[in-house]
């Protein structure tokens, strides 16, 4: 796998260096590889080793680095889908009492994506879960993907990172005592070789203790995750199918040797345990849904690295069956990324015909939402925007507007309205209707951001929309909020100071917005001072 900057690599040896706790929970570990240390239920040891508030701050610091990583991906369509699986799991964990109130209030409980083709997901301190595109692309059903998310949720709810630190502290103390006593005895005996052996034995004891601890935590997460998975209404066979997929993958690069040196139990062992948890009568196994098939295809296209990989997806779609919805979806998105908008439109229309959605891009609201497929409509609107057809994107979104709107639909609609207004003005056409539509989208974005203030992408779209409407102060503030959400407080402060200068030039023209800018500037400056203190 290609190496990426900052903490994408830390998703493989997750927080071991920073927190003595872990690597990816689902990748089969090789001997000596680092992986997350997991432990069961909460307790005094975890709270003393790493208080909940401190763990949350650690997680935020890690996220600051991850957001700068080239592999970081904020794809609203995929994130909406993964969130649709994550939220029922989170609700089920709360119903079961798996999450303590102080942990529930402090943790972020958030999902993010990385543009990595490996079959992997991992948990971070403070309640965040990273998902590789390769995992989404490899799973055959939503039940399989949900089983992985449930496993990671169990790591978070049981605070395995904090408990791992407590275990490491205890074991390192015992190992140190053993090494010191051994060295003293060797010195009394006058044997340097015996001293070296004592030191090596103490170190081996420490490493083995941590490996045993990690394997126990993986088993715990498997067990608790299974309960959450079933409680949330997913097919229990999904976890079995997922382990079977992992086992097949592991056979390609893993001989199964030295299991006692692994931080995870062998996949075959976990597969056998998962099968014992199935109902006595057994189940036919999870079935793929049309939405999951399309999201698999989207993950494949977004994970494709380079023009050659994208061209292969386009060629496969063109040569494949017209009934292969996943292939058509991936091919259309890949063609758009290559700039071949004509081919992208052709494949998207074939996809719409395959799933029963009106295939003409002259779609109007009169055709109604009865034949609407939201994933296909969002794709076609995305492709229309990419080729500059804002009015087509608007029409498509009107035919399939979910209520309340999903994040992806909200962002796409605001982008389409902003482009439509700009095009009307550039063509010197009457733009009253376009401006009115954009004002509505800007208001919807502000409503969304009131409950999702860390949504950097939404702030960015709001900034462009406000700028198109001539709302300069609001646009500058949105730009600052976008930079702050991405962790760049210096840039956020610069933009707010620029906004203050504009406000002074305008006098009391927009007193409310100017007051908000002043307040946010003070808050960002305080956050920057606190961050500097934390780093020290």
* CA pair distance 463, 481, nearest whole angstrom: 9
Q: What are phi and psi of 76, to 5 degrees?
A: -55, -35
Q: What are phi and psi of 275, to 5 degrees?
A: -65, -30
Nearest to 21 by CA among 64, 50, 41, 47: 50
Q: What are 202's two structure tokens? A: 């103490």
* CA pair distance 491, 483, nearest whole angstrom: 6
Instruction: Identify whether the C-beta of residue 496 lies closer than 8 Å to the C-beta of residue 521.
Output: yes
Among candidate residues 55, 116, 144, 152, the one labeled active-site is 152
* CA pair distance 458, 64, nearest whole angstrom: 18
Instruction: Give the pairing type, strands 110-114 and 72-73.
Output: antiparallel
Q: Please confirm, yes or no, whether 152 is among the known catalytic residues.
A: yes
- Residue 141: half-sphere exposure toward Cβ, Cα within 13 Å: 17
DSSP H helices, 356-406, are 374-386, 390-399
Q: Give the three-state DSSP class for 358.
A: coil
Beta-sheet strand order (sheet of 128-132):
72-73, 110-114, 128-132, 121-124
**Residues contacting 250, CB < 8 A, separation 6+:** 28, 256, 267
Q: What are phi and psi of 402, to 5 degrees?
A: -70, 150
Q: What are phi and psi of 394, to 5 degrees?
A: -60, -45
Catalytic residue numbers read: 152
């Amino acid at each position: 796998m290609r190496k990426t900057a900052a903490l994408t690599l830390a998703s493989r040896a997750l927080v071991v260096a920073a927190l003595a706790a872990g690597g990816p929970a689902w990748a089969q570990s090789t001997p000596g590889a680092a992986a997350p240390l997991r432990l069961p239920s909460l307790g005094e040891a975890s709270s003393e080793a790493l208080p909940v508030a401190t763990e949350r701050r650690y997680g935020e610091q890690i996220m600051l680095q991850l957001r700068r990583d080239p592999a970081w991906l904020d794809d609203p369509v995929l994130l909406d889908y993964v969130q649709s699986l994550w939220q029922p799991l989170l609700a089920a964990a709360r119903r079961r009492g798996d999450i303590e109130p102080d942990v529930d209030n402090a943790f972020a409980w958030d999902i993010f994506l990385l543009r990595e083709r490996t079959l992997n997901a991992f948990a971070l301190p403070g309640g965040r879960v990273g998902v590789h595109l390769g995992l989404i692309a490899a799973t055959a059903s939503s039940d399989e993907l949900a089983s992985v998310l449930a496993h990671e949720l169990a790591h978070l709810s049981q605070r395995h990172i904090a408990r791992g630190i407590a275990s490491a502290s205890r074991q390192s103390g015992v190992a140190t005592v053993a090494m010191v006593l051994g060295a003293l005895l060797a010195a009394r005996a006058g044997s340097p070789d015996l001293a070296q052996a004592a030191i090596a034995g103490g170190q081996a004891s420490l490493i083995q203790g941590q490996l045993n601890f990690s394997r126990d935590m993986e088993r715990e997460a498997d067990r608790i995750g299974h309960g959450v998975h079933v409680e949330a209404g997913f097919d229990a066979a999904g976890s079995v199918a997922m382990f079977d997929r992992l086992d097949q993958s592991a056979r390609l690069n893993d001989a199964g040797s030295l299991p006692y040196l692994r931080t995870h139990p062998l996949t075959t062992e976990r597969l056998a345990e998962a099968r014992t948890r199935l109902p006595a009568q057994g189940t036919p196994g999870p079935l793929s849904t049309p939405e999951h098939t399309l999201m698999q295809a989207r993950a494949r296209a977004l994970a494709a690295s380079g023009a050659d990989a994208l061209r292969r997806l386009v060629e496969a779609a063109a040569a494949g069956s017209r009934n292969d919805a996943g292939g058509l979806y991936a091919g259309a998105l890949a063609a758009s990324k290559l700039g071949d908008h004509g081919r992208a439109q052709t494949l998207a229309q074939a996809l719409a015909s395959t799933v029963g959605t009106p295939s003409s891009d002259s779609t109007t609201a009169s055709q109604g939402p009865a034949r609407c497929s939201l994933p296909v409509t969002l794709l076609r609107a995305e492709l229309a925007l990419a080729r500059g057809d804002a009015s087509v994107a608007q029409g498509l979104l009107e035919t399939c507007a979910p209520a309340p709107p999903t994040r992806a639909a909200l962002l796409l609609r605001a982008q389409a309205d902003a482009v439509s207004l700009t095009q009307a003005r550039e063509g010197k056409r009457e733009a009253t209707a376009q401006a009115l539509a954009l004002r509505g989208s800007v208001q919807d974005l502000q409503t969304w951001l009131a409950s999702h203030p860390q949504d950097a992408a939404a702030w960015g779209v709001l900034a462009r929309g406000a700028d198109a409407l001539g709302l300069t102060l609001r646009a500058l503030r949105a730009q600052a909020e976008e930079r702050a959400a991405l962790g760049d407080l210096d840039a956020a402060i610069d933009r707010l100071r620029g906004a203050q200068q504009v406000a002074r030039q305008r006098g009391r023209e927009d007193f409310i917005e100017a007051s908000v800018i002043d307040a946010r500037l003070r808050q960002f400056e305080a956050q920057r001072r606190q961050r500097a203190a934390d780093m020290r």
